[in-house]
Amino acid sequence: MKKILFYTDTPQIGGAELQIYLLAKFLNKEKFKPILVCSNFKQLDNWCTKFEKEGIEVIRLNVKNKHDIKHLSELKKIIKEKEIDLLHIHVWNPASCRYAFLAGSKTKTPIITTEHDPFKLSLIKNLFKKYSLNKISKIVTISENNKKLLEDLYPEHKDKLVMIHNGIDTTWWKSQLIRFTEKDRKKIKEEVFFAKENTLIISCIAELHERKGQKYLINAIPEIVEEYPNLKFVFIGEGKERENLEKLVKKLKIEKHVTFTGKQKDIPQLLKASDIFALPSRREAFGLVNLEAMLIPLPIIASKVGGIPEIVKDGQTGILVEAENSEEFSKALKKLISSPESRKKMAIAGHKRIIENFDAKIMAKNYEKAYQEI
């Protein structure tokens, strides 16, 4: 059995951290023993508990922040004491996890990285990045789009690159909806969405952040509701752009057609109470929430950015539009709003696509193959 050390210096939980958990959960435990190493930040407590419930060892580093040099000494000590066979560094930001590269190099431990959200770095950070990449055996990207980006940025490491799509725990998602009823749908519509039972719901789940592009979807609403007034656009999530987005809604006089729910827990149920899912991102490394919405199943309207076109097949499981283009979003939404048959057909095709291509168990098997090659 090979011991795989999963390391990240993340200060918070997001999509990358969910994928780390799913990978650890579904790895073949007869061949691999995952061990998670991360910082002792309080906001990571619940995440670490999930690993422990799966019987996975978790080691917390007593560090002040991601820049604390104690990361290096602690990691070297753990690698030696635990007799780690492979160091899997999860790079949530292209300049993150610098001490892990040094620790792996100094202990002569093979390294594999997953680049969860790559982008071009500043000169100084890029110099260290290039140094780090020389120490790596294999670099995983979560989309073909990201793979192409890294090939362009670091062509000398092209042969190390392998693409492994993120995955979703399909079994868990299905289990959350076993007892979902029409009564539940009605309750969510009334109490969370502030909508009537027969109102068509367009949901958007994302951090309220400039890069998620919610304002472009909001700017499309006046034209849409003029033709189809029985609609409610529901923005699920929280973030620093909320105040600006609420002001925009007020300025456009569409308050009765928009609800901001804030951060929510029961995402499977909220999606099940929706009719269409929209994601107007300006930049997106992968777009994991599209997987979740397609599994429900919902038809998708999303920006043609990052890894999203690898998930959403235009015209088959949803409609892809150019980012930052309210007019295209308006046209796409009208097309789906006016055709229940198209919505149903796309939703069924999307569900099938997720089951066949994006189950977290498939992702884990692909990582196992990468580990074995190293």
Q: In three state form, how does the secondary structure of 106-128 look?
A: HCCCCEEEEECCCCCCCHHHHHH
Cβ 262 vs Cβ 368: under 8 Å? no
Return the residue matching tokens 């929706």: 274
Tens digit of each residue's pLDDT (9 = 90 or more) over 203-252: 999 999 999 999 999 999 999 999 999 999 999 999 999 999 999 999 99
Separation of first and last alpha carbons in the chain: 14
The pLDDT of residue 337 is 98
Token pair of 211 as six digits? 């890069």
Among 159, 169, 117, CA closest to 136: 159
- What is the chain's percent helix, strand, coil content, to nearest 5? 50, 20, 35
Q: How far apart are CA 140 and CA 146, in angstroms?
A: 10
DSSP state of 11: S
178-to-181, 192, 298, 347 alpha-carbon distances in Å: 9, 20, 17, 18
Cβ 163 vs Cβ 144: under 8 Å? yes
The pLDDT of residue 150 is 95
Query: Quick one: how far is CA 11 from the chain centroid?
Result: 16
User: Considering just the CA atoms, what is the radius of gyration of the chain in Å?
Assistant: 22
The pLDDT of residue 131 is 87
SS (H, E, C) 74-106: HHHHHHHHCCCCEEEEEECCCCCCHHHHHHHHH
Half-sphere exposure of 341 (CA within 13 A, CB side): 0
What CATH topology corresponds to 2-167+359-373?
Rossmann fold (3.40.50)
Q: How far apart are CA 209 and CA 267, in angstroms?
A: 19
Tens digit of each residue's pLDDT (9 = 90 or more) over 117-146: 999 989 888 888 988 899 899 999 999 999
What CATH topology corresponds to 170-357?
Rossmann fold (3.40.50)
Residue-averaged pLDDT of the chain: 96
Q: Would you kindly state where each structural domain of the chain is located, as residue ranges? A: 2-167+359-373, 170-357
Q: How far apart are CA 135 and CA 106, in angstroms?
A: 10
Cβ 115 vs Cβ 148: under 8 Å? no
Reported pTM: 0.93
* Below-70 pLDDT ranges, the chain: none
